[in-house]
Amino acid sequence: MVDSARPGGDPRLAEDSLEELDRNWLELLQELRVAEAGVQILFAFLLSLPFTQRWTQVSHFGHVIYVVALLLSAVASALLIGPVAYHRLTFRRHARARLVRTANAMALGGLAALALAICSAVLLVIDVVAGPLATVLIGVGIGAVFVVLWLVVPLAGRHEQFEFEEHHPRPEPSDRPSRAGSPGRR
C-alpha cells in the first residue's frame, strides 16, 4: 500500500508511473461506487413505474420522457459498470494505463448519461404533478444545476490548477525524493 503522507504534502511527488496508475484506478473505483448507487436506484424506480396505478394518467409526452429516462439509465448503468468488466477481462495483462484511460472515458460518458436520465425522470414526475409550464421551467433549472455543478465548476477548477502549475512547476522525476526505505511504505 502506498503511504498518503508524502514529502511536501503533494501526493504526486514520490510516485512512479505504476503507483500513479494504481492510485488513479483506485480513486476512479471509489467515484464509480457513488455514481453506480445513484443510477441503480433511479433505474429501479423507472423499471417499476409502468406497474403503478397512476401510470394510465401519464400523457403521451410523459411516456416519451419515460422511455428516454429508462434508456439513459440503462446506458449510464452500462458505462458506469463497464470499467469493472473491462478490468476483469484485462486482469493481469499489464494494461493498467489503457484500463485507466478507457475507464475514465466510460465514467465521463456514464455521468453524462446519468445527468440526462435524472433530468428526464424529474421532467416525467413534474409533468404528472404540475403541468407543462412547471415542467419546462423546472426541467431547465435542473439541467442548469447539473451543467454548473458537473461541468462548469470542475472545468473552472482545472483552469485554476493549470494556472497554479504554470507558476509552480512539478519537480522532474530525477529531483523527486526516493521512495525506497521511506518509513510509510509497506
For 130, phi and psi rounded to 5 degrees?
-130, -15
Give domain status of residue 72, yes or no. yes
Give domain status of residue 57, yes or no. yes
Query: Residue 121's pLDDT band (boundaries 50, 70, 90)?
Result: very high
Give domain status of residue 186, yes or no. no
- The closest alpha carbon to 177, from 1, 21, 5, 6, belongs to 6
Give domain status of residue 45, yes or no. yes
Domain that holds residue 132: 7-175
pLDDT of 86 strictly over 70: yes
The number of angstroms, rounded, from the C-alpha of 169 to the middle of its chain's C-alpha atoms is: 28
pTM of the model: 0.74
What mean pLDDT is predicted for residues 109-117?
96
Q: Is the dihedral of CA 154, 156, 157, 158 positive or negative?
A: positive
Query: Residue 72's pLDDT band (boundaries 50, 70, 90)?
Result: very high
For residue 41, the model assigns a pLDDT of 95
The number of angstroms, rounded, from the C-alpha of 15 to the middle of its chain's C-alpha atoms is: 24
Give domain status of residue 180, yes or no. no
- Can you spell out the DSSP letters for 80-138? HHHHHHHHHHHTTSS-HHHHHHHHHHHHHHHHHHHHHHHHHHHHHHHHHHT-HHHHHHH
CA atoms of 174 and 107, how far apart (whole Å) = 33
Listed in sequence order, the residues at least 6 apart from 95 whose beta carbon sits closer than 8 Å to its beta carbon are none
Percent of the chain topping pLDDT 70: 78
Give domain status of residue 157, yes or no. yes
Q: Is the dihedral of CA 154, 150, 106, 36 positive or negative?
A: positive
Give domain status of residue 181, yes or no. no
Beta-carbon neighbour count of residue 51 at 10 Å? 7
| Per-chain mean pLDDT for the chain | 83
Give domain status of residue 17, yes or no. yes
pLDDT of 85 strictly over 50: yes
